Amino acid sequence: MDNLINKKSNSILETDTMKIDKNIIKIRDRTFQISNISSVSVYDKEKLKYPQWAIIAVVAGIIVMSANVVVGLVAIVIGGSALASVFSENSKVVKKLSIWMNNGEGYSLSSEDIEFLYKVASAIEYCMNNNNGYCQINFKANDITDCNFTIGNYNSVQ
């Protein structure tokens, strides 16, 4: 969906913790003003495309093997390694939480637990609507603690 929006590049933020305090989000050495956030979204990480040169190298290696086994084998190994690397990366289940700022800059945080990312997005949304929220978010443990508000919809009808 972000590809449909003409935005600046999206930077990936690597962090174990994030702190929300009133109108501020603190992630490692960066501080964001919540009132400058234009959107927050959770989605699957984009899959990498298989490089064409790797496919060509494997096919060419198979063809060349009839004339020169060593050269053909080297081409197959190099192309196959690149294809295996992309396959391995695409096999990982990774979700992203993207935060887009009013100036068009985007920042992403990743986790394998999509429910956790939805809770983080919910916490940010709460703080966007209420200037008095605070909480500590631990991405390593997929845990949100020290909140002065409830995350999620826990209302029920009996």
> What domain count does the chain have?
2
Question: Considering only CA atoms, which of 155, 154, 150 is closest in space to residue 133?
Answer: 150
Same domain, 40 and 100: yes
Mean pLDDT, residues 25-37: 84
The model's confidence at residue 152, banded by pLDDT at 50, 70 and 90, is low
Supply the pLDDT for residue 158: 41
Judgement on whether residues 100 and 87 belong to the same structural domain of the protein: no
- Does any domain span residue 156? no
- Domain ranges, residue 59: 52-91
pLDDT tens digits, one per residue of 80-102: 999 999 898 888 767 888 888 88
Cα separation, 53 vs 62, whole angstroms: 14
Judge whether 154 lies within some domain: no
Local confidence band at 111 (pLDDT 50, 70, 90 cut-offs):
confident
Task: Assess if residue 17 is contained within a domain.
Answer: yes
The CATH number that applies at residue 137 is 2.30.29
Query: Chain-centre distance of CA 72, in angstroms?
Result: 38
Question: pTM of the entire structure?
Answer: 0.62
User: Three-state SS across 14-33?
Assistant: CCCEEEEECCEEEECCEEEE
**What DSSP character marks residue 3?**
G
